[in-house]
Amino acid sequence: MSFVPLSEQLRCARRELAMRRNVYPKWVANGKMKQEDADREIAGMQAIVLSLEVLSMPTTHVHLEDGGLERIDQLTLEQARQVIARLCDELQTMRREGAGDVRPGV
pLDDT digits (tens, 9 = 90+) for 65-99: 666 666 766 777 887 788 788 878 878 887 777 65
Per-residue pLDDT band for 106 (boundaries 50, 70, 90) equals: very low
47 and 77 share one domain: no
CA 57, CA 84: separation in Å to the nearest integer? 13
30 and 74 share one domain: no
User: pLDDT: is 39 or 97 the higher one?
Assistant: 39
Q: Which residue segment(s) compose the domain that 9 sits in?
A: 1-56
14 and 48 share one domain: yes
13 and 36 share one domain: yes
Q: What backbone phi and psi angles, to 5 degrees, belong to 50?
A: -60, -45
Own/partner pairs, 17-26, CB within 8 angstroms, 24+ separation: 17/42, 17/45, 17/46, 17/48, 17/49, 20/45
Length of the chain: 106
Interval 2-19: pLDDT, tens: 888 888 999 999 999 999
CA 89, CA 83: separation in Å to the nearest integer? 10
- The pTM of the full predicted model, rounded to 2 decimals, is 0.57
Q: Quick check: 105 pLDDT over 80?
A: no
43 and 65 share one domain: no
3 and 35 share one domain: yes
Please tell me the total count of domains within the chain.
Answer: 2
